Amino acid sequence: MPIELDPMLLLGEIDPPQRLLMGPGPINAHPRVLRAMSADLLGQFDPEMTGYMNQVMALYRPIFGTANRWTMLVDGTARAGIEAALVSLVAPGDVVLVVNFGRFGLLLGEILARIGAVVETVEAPWGEIVSLDAIAAGIARCQPKVVATIHGDTSTTMVQPLDGFGALCRAAGALSYVDATATIGGMELAADRWEVDVVSGGLQKCLGGPSGSAPITISDTAAEHITRRRHLEQGIRRPDIADGQGPRIVSNYFDLAMVMDYWSDKRLNHHTEATSMLYAARECARIVLEEGLAARYARHEAAGRAMTAGLRAMGLEIFGEDAHRMINVTGVFVPKDVDGETVRLAMREQFEIEIGTAFGPLEGRIWRIGAMGYNAMKHKVLLTLAALEACLGMQGYSLPPGIAVPAAMRAWDA
């Protein structure tokens, strides 16, 4: 009897629409990054490959604002970096203070609860940030081993100030962790000046790459703490790498003690490096440093300023405290009597532009509009505003035509 071929196997090759991604991330990857990903693969211990790994470590130090030796990649999305940091810093039963001001602060608590940590929180309403005094009070109250926060939480578009944060943690004998997924490459990171122990990020937002690799930097203090928890898996034991005396890290894949040995001269055979993603991360960093950090931050600030000015010119209300809003993602209230999802659909179907919806208490109430990385460009901001103006008009929202683009142009040049 002949075997029938499943029609699904006859699908054509992937040919996605050329959509402009102006939501909270992911965004369109830089063409140079996509080209880098098409380069030939190498064996994980090929000298060319390990040379690229060393280059990546050097390239990301200035982006994180650090001289940390342990500045590398975790293979996986930005959440892989978060989980690797937390599972390697925190043992079951440890008290951890989470600075929570949005969905991703809640995520930190979720991950920590799964590790078995005792999770304490210091919180602010969505649309606000947590003061340093409140964090200090939280530390005094629960005496945590680790304090964890988000830098920029795209669910609320708020950015948590971090000057003094690490010093406060160190004075209390606590390690500190910062998730900078939404800000790395678009807003200043200053891991050393902030005295933060671990910072992790992702490629898919301001760095202008695809999701799938998580840059991370680890202070010497945190590295020593993690190394004390090193327990090599049986199949890769070597006489030159000793186990630590601390509790074993509860994940194998996200065990930063073994990942650090993989990225060191030891070249421990922990996992097969995601070669194409390493190429992508390397090119993202090269593009950032070629532009210059100060110039790049200024470009993102101009894009955010222009986006906000254009939205306000349309009579729309911006969400959150102006003093603490992210520059690369803007929250804006959906006008009364306008269906937000219908507008988003029209943006996508009529203009091939994607803007974001929201989560939790903000679901259906705000749009989140991004301008970051390869998309933090004047013409892309103007196209997005013009399309939104047209789609709002299609919904019966009354506004003077052609008002948003000139306001954004003036703000960009301000």
What is the CATH classification number for the domain harbouring 46? 3.40.640.10
192 & 77 share domain: yes
Q: Are residues 146 and 171 in the same domain?
A: yes
With 0-12 / 13-18 / 19 or more C-beta atoms within 10 angstroms meaning exposed / middle / buried, residue 148 is buried
Question: Band of the pLDDT at 5, cuts 50, 70, 90?
Answer: low
> Does residue 327 carry a pLDDT above 80?
yes
How does pLDDT run across 187-228, given as a tens digit for each residue? 999 999 999 999 999 999 999 999 999 999 999 999 999 999
- Is residue 16 assigned to a domain? no
Do 257 and 297 fall within a single domain?
Answer: no
Q: Which helix (H) or strand (E) holds 136?
A: helix 132-142
Question: Does 238 lie in the same domain as 200?
Answer: yes
- Is 372 within the bounds of a domain? yes
Q: Residue 100 above 70 pLDDT?
A: yes
In-domain check, residue 14: no
Q: Which residue has the tokens 């690229």?
A: 52
> Which two tokens mark 205?
């937002």
Examine the pLDDT at 400 and tell me if it is beyond 90: no
Structural domain count, the chain: 2
Are residue 273 and residue 364 in the same domain, yes or no?
no
Least confident piece of the model among 136-145, 281-290, 322-331, 391-400: 391-400
The reply to whether 105 and 246 lie within a common domain is yes
Same domain, 248 and 261: yes
Residue 129: both structure tokens together = 């940030």
Do residues 186 and 300 make contact, with C-beta atoms less than 8 angstroms apart?
Answer: yes
102-129 pLDDT per residue, tens: 999 999 999 999 999 999 999 999 999 9
pTM for this one? 0.95
Q: Is residue 102 part of a domain?
A: yes
Distance CA 37, CA 30 (A): 11
pLDDT in tens, 334-360: 999 999 999 999 999 999 999 999 999
Is 90 exceeded by the pLDDT of residue 76? yes
- Find residue 376's DSSP bridge partners: none
Which residue segment(s) compose the domain that 61 sits in? 31-288
**What integer pLDDT is reported at residue 281 of this predicted model?**
98
What are the C-alpha distances in Å from 402 to residues 41, 106, 390, 399, 407?
Answer: 49, 40, 9, 9, 9
Do 323 and 211 share a structural domain?
A: no
CATH number at residue 394: 3.90.1150.10
Categorise residue 359: left if φ over 0, alpha if ψ from -120 to 50, beta otherwise: beta
- Confirm if 61 and 68 have CB atoms less than 8 A apart: yes
